[in-house]
Amino acid sequence: MQQSIFDLRIEDYEPTQPTAHLKKVGYDNAGNQYAVKRVEDGNWIPLTEWVGYSLCRILGIATPDFTIGHDENNQPVFCSKWENGKVFTRDEDQMDALAEIKPRLQAIANIIALDEFIENPDRHAGNLIFRDNTPNLLAFDFALSQFTKSACNAKIDQSKTDQTQALKTLIAWLSRSSRMRIDATEITNKIKKIQTSDLNKILTSAPFYWMQQAGLDCIIAYLSDKQKRL
Ligand SMILES: Nc1ncnc2c1ncn2[C@@H]1O[C@H](COP(=O)(O)OP(=O)(O)O)[C@@H](O)[C@H]1O
Ligand SMILES: [Mg+2]
């Protein structure tokens, strides 16, 4: 029987080295492993992850499975199922990363188009999972998306550097050198066609605890307005 998302409880944590926003890797009682993101890791983080992953579902962009769980304090947390595959860190051989990126240019360009829509400046080879099986590329980590802050006119930290630019330059260069046409038209049209009712469904299914001070309506109005300007 499929487990109801409301039953998912993070029972146990792995003693991992925390990263910028991933402080917890946990397990449910069936032993499934999850990257767990909590409000205390950054106010907007679970919500931006939830919206990012949910929009991927609508657009046909593959991600790890995700769900809402509850932590030991019974607070709702965003859970991304742990998937095996290659995730590149800056210290690793960049030629290896290049070899994985090259056959997936269109798929990565599609992810970047979504990132731009939700104002996520953090797409790099460390936020993609490269696998041998299908789907052979998974997007994850929408934590730094700024659309929630933009929607409620909150201050955006301009000092954060754009981590996506290097990947964009690489895609442009690789597509030119291999004479491949990488085209964002199809994905942009899909983003334009996302229904307001779908945005509404995504946001109303997020726990209220994740909403911070933002009105759900202003986030929907903000994204709908952006769709018109695409
Ligand atoms: N669902 C997942 N499956 C496999 N590895 C993951 C998953 N989520 C996160 N990771 C690993 O944990 C690291 C940190 O997670 P990430 O979501 O990128 O947090 P941060 O915001 O700190 O960069 C990733 O670079 C990746 O190696
Ligand atoms: Mg990351």
Domains of the chain: 5-81 (3.30.200), 94-228 (no CATH)
Instruction: For residues 102-119, give the mean pLDDT.
Output: 98
Q: Considering only CA atoms, which residue is closest to atom 27 of ligand 1? A: 87
Per-residue pLDDT, 20: 83
Q: How far is the CA of 18 from the centre of ligand 1 (A)?
A: 10
Instruction: For residues 38-48, give the mean pLDDT.
Output: 94
> pLDDT band for position 111 (50/70/90)?
very high
Per-residue pLDDT, 6: 54
pLDDT cut 90: percent of the chain above it: 77
Q: How far is the CA of 179 from the centre of ligand 2 (A)?
A: 31
Q: Considering only CA atoms, which residue is closest to atom 6 of ligand 1? A: 82
Range in 31-40, 114-123, 152-161 with the lowest mean pLDDT: 152-161
Please determine, for residue 5, whether its predicted confidence score (pLDDT) is greater than 60.
Answer: no
E-assigned strands of the chain?
12-13, 24-27, 33-37, 66-70, 76-81, 128-130, 137-139
Range in 9-23, 44-58, 194-208 with the lowest mean pLDDT: 9-23
Judging by beta carbons within 10 Å of its beta carbon (0-12, 13-18, 19+), is residue 227 exposed, middle or buried?
middle
CB 47 within 8 A of CB 210: yes
Single pTM value for the model: 0.94
- Ligand 1 pocket test: pick from 44, 87, 90, 144 the residue with the most ligand atoms within 8 Å of its Cβ: 87
Please determine, for residue 159, whether its predicted confidence score (pLDDT) is greater than 90.
Answer: no
Alpha helix positions (H), 118-230: 147-151, 165-177, 185-192, 196-204, 216-228
User: Looking at ligand 1, which atom is closest to the CA of residue 18?
Assistant: 22
Please determine, for residue 17, whether its predicted confidence score (pLDDT) is greater than 50.
Answer: yes
**Identity of the residue numbered 163:** Q
